[in-house]
Structure 1
């Protein structure tokens, strides 16, 4: 992803918002997908979904995906309907997702400082999907490489402001493979 600040310093944090279901778009939810996130820290939000400016450990919390486990295995311990949190990345390997029914494995590599993990927590069904399918909550998951949400308001977060005349760039690579079922 690229953007240019033409005449003024500009905050930029682009993110793609692709929904993934490695079982297929009409295979139901992603709660049985196995996820591993290579991050031990998150940037939590308050009750209004606003970043607090803190950086907290995931160890011992439902946000701990340091070891692979299914999306649904810890979700009931959250205070909301699913995952929607920014992980602090260290290094280029961000996450791996695996569907044991299909054997499909997806890996995300990125040079962005953060990654939002979102599990399509819709409150109601979403009509108009591929082939006329109606998607229910948790029909897909997102791995969005990005800057930290709220970085312009929190000086302890990596800056996402680019000077006039400079170019913002961040790379992401999704790779797919088949693991024996």
Structure 2
């Protein structure tokens, strides 16, 4: 099953044609493909998917009992405004050290439900958000979502790359070229 949408944005500084396609594939796999083509001039493009996940179910409480492995050897420190400084820091020995497996981007498990989510991407970075700023958000079935009700794994190029050209790969896409961002989620249960 496949569904998607085509959008046109202006002022990025150039106009963009953006397509997002969601694909439900066999064996409990969700794939998301985002693409963007500059129409008028070179434009920074760094799309992100900000979906919340709680493998215990949307009404099961917090994600604090989930375990996560993020396969990365470094992270991008941020300033007091949460903007990347343009530097890389090694994760070894820090609270950001989720490394245990090669090749995938992340693996999330909820032992209580036995559910597992694996994530692959073609992007160099992933932002991990624990929902720590959720505060009485009304959700599905009238459930109220509070702090840690869900987690996000936002794969993308490095934020603020345009201001750190010496350290981060460029996110500027030229007319005639297309930015392509793919995420593949695989869900299993014990």
Normalised by the shorter chain, which TM-score bucket? 0.7 to 0.9
Could you say which residue in structure 2 is the equivalent of 1:46?
Answer: 79
Match of 1:111 among 112, 122, 125: 122
Could you say which residue in structure 2 is the equivalent of 1:13?
Answer: 46
Quote the offset at 1:123 in angstroms.
5.8
Pairing of 1:33-72 with structure 2 (within 5 A): 33-67=66-100
Quote the offset at 1:67 in angstroms.
3.7
Which runs of 5 or more structure 2 residues have no equivalent in the other structure? Answer: 1-33
Pairing of 1:57-136 with structure 2 (within 5 A): 57-67=90-100, 93-122=104-133, 124-126=135-137, 128-136=138-146
User: TM (normalized to structure 1)?
Assistant: 0.83
Cα distance in structure 1, aligned partners of 2:153 and 2:140: 20
Cα distance in structure 1, aligned partners of 2:52 and 2:94: 24
- Please report the RMSD computed on the Cα atoms of aligned residues, expressed in angstroms: 1.4
Cα distance in structure 1, aligned partners of 2:162 and 2:45: 10
Cα distance in structure 2, aligned partners of 1:99 and 1:167: 37
Pairing of 1:26-37 with structure 2 (within 5 A): 26-37=59-70
List, as ranges, runs of 4+ consecutive aligned residues in structure 1 with deviation greater than 6 Å: none
User: TM (normalized to structure 2)?
Assistant: 0.79
Contact 2:71 2:103 in 1 (8 A): no
Which structure has the higher relative contact order (CA within 8 Å, separation 6+)? 1
- Aligned pairs, number: 156
Higher strand share: 2
3-state DSSP of counterpart to 2:141? helix
Which runs of 5 or more structure 1 residues have no equivalent in the other structure? Answer: 69-90
Alignment of 1:150 onto 2:160: yes
Could you say if the C-alpha distance between residues 35 and 66 of structure 1 is closer, same or farther in structure 2, counting changes exceeding 3 Å? same
3-state DSSP of counterpart to 1:171? strand
Q: Which of 1 and 2 has greater Rg?
A: 2
